[in-house]
Structure 1
Amino acid sequence: MDSQTLLERFTSGDLRALARAITWAESGHPAGAELLRELRGRGNSRVVGLTGSPGAGKSTLTDRLIEEARRRGERVAVLAVDPSSPFTGGAILGDRIRMMRHYHDSGVFIRSLASRGALGGLAGAVVGALALLEAFGFERIFVETVGVGQSEVDIARVADTTVLVLTPAAGDAVQAFKAGVMEIADVFVVNKFDLPGGERVIQELKTTLELAPPRPGGWKPPVLSAVGSRGEGITELLDAIDRHYAHLQEHGLLEGGRLERARFEVESVIQEWGRRRTREGQDLITQVASGELTPEEAATRLLSNPEMSR
């Protein structure tokens, strides 16, 4: 399929064309870049990021949030950012399995993207995929991260609203405090609240937030409880997400967030270039290892003269 045909099918609302466009964008296909140039800036989706430690129940909450958003008449897309397979580089598709019941709903689109070793964080391709989903006309896009390392911070640069999912498990809240995620989350939800210790975690969060520096526009992050497996607390969670979006609109903060998303995408491209050049520039890497060059000297040569990486 050529890019013009794909664009025509995309603009006519063909979900298969959307899937192909995301594949092209994720793989770095030149036609994918052209499509993004043509489509970027269309649409106006509400982008919600969900992050938290593995096992916190993010996929279950996302599944329930899809259900609630559809009940409100919204078209919904989900990007599940999975850890890359160490063997194939592709996404590990565990998160998609939990949402399988929505697959026959034409108002729901679910896609896994590989983090591709992006320093433990989000792949830059996520932002390209977001642009395509917005152009396709989805009102709401959920981005679920791997929930480890840099991804918990990266998500705040990509989403309009960042939701941190915690559980009553011992040490969960403490780890969030240490990782600095407390500073970037806009909404907190303690999932699996039916387990012992849920109320204690909520009180710890509220106490910590009272000491936190003011948020833009004076936003005060709510601390909610939920039992995703039973669908409890989901309506309240989506309402809180919408209140935060309204806050961003009221205080003129949306445009700054979109600019930060574009900055993240550019930085991701630069990082990918650096990784590629490093893999190709084995001679320079050997010279760094032997002490003949400093890392700074090698990096300057690799980035300033493409021929040096061959």
Structure 2
Amino acid sequence: MEFKDYYKIMGLARDASQDEIKRAYRQLARKYHPDVSKAADAEVRFKELGEAYAVLKDLEKRAAYDQLGKDWKAGQDFRPPPDWNAGFEYAGDGAGAGDGGSGEFSDFFEALYGRHFRSGGRQQADFHARGEDRHAKVLIDLEDAYRGTTRSITLQTPKIDSQGRVSMAAHTLNVTIPIGIRAGQHIRLSGQGAPGIGQGKPGDLYLEIGFHPHALYRVDGRDIYLDLPLAPWEAALGATIKAPTPGGTVELKIPPGSASGGKLRLKGRGIPGNTPGDFYAVIRIDLPAAAADAEKAFYGSMAEQFKSFRPRAKLGV
């Protein structure tokens, strides 16, 4: 999909105030309204304006878009980076589509806001009302799910300064990470949402958990995967080796004749839980470089010894 520059669509600078955004939308909406404009592209332009305004008028959507879009230009091929919205606090339940509902705006809009942002609207009451629940996605280390810990987490929320422009305010929370938490699960912080109206109680803050990318491991639910390098002789002859896991170093017995892509399973060594996940070591055979003459000669002797070996037989060549 193509990246959309909402500021360019509305003819605005990136530091435009909220009042300037509102005025620009009103002027352009009158100019390109399909019932008024005679321009051939009026309907398309009017729809683009509506989408741009839905993002830029909303402090939360605009703040996230500003962080994401600073390195992109209109028309560039675009895919949202993983966890692009981590660390932003937002309203709604995180499950609905964006303003206007699914399908009314572009795929670009839905890819960014369809799951994580929704215009919830605060409950109205004559005297008292409970505060709005807030949501945010936060990233933790995989090891935190094994040990449990307390983390200091900083969230960003947008605010309007005295000039009517959007700025970010940070607030830091100490959060207890329970043992066994999985990506996609939520931690509820009671009373940490938006303040109530009148004597109404504050809402709650829900933190959706994700994991930082790990240098060694991949996560699938509660299961953990490690690419395990083996020397050719370890794979061919078998060996007992040491391998890391998030819970500590273990010894693995490599069966003779192991092939690349094979898996060694350690039951219950994945993310803890009532039914813990498993740990999988995925075999990868690494070949030593042949730099010295003796090393080259050894590879030559292997070629002689294994003349009948056809590594590409399954390819039909």
Larger Rg: 2
Report the TM-score, using the length of structure 1 for normalisation: 0.22
Q: Which has the higher strand share?
A: 2
Q: Which has the higher helix share?
A: 1
Higher relative contact order (Cα pairs below 8 Å, separated by 6+ residues):
1
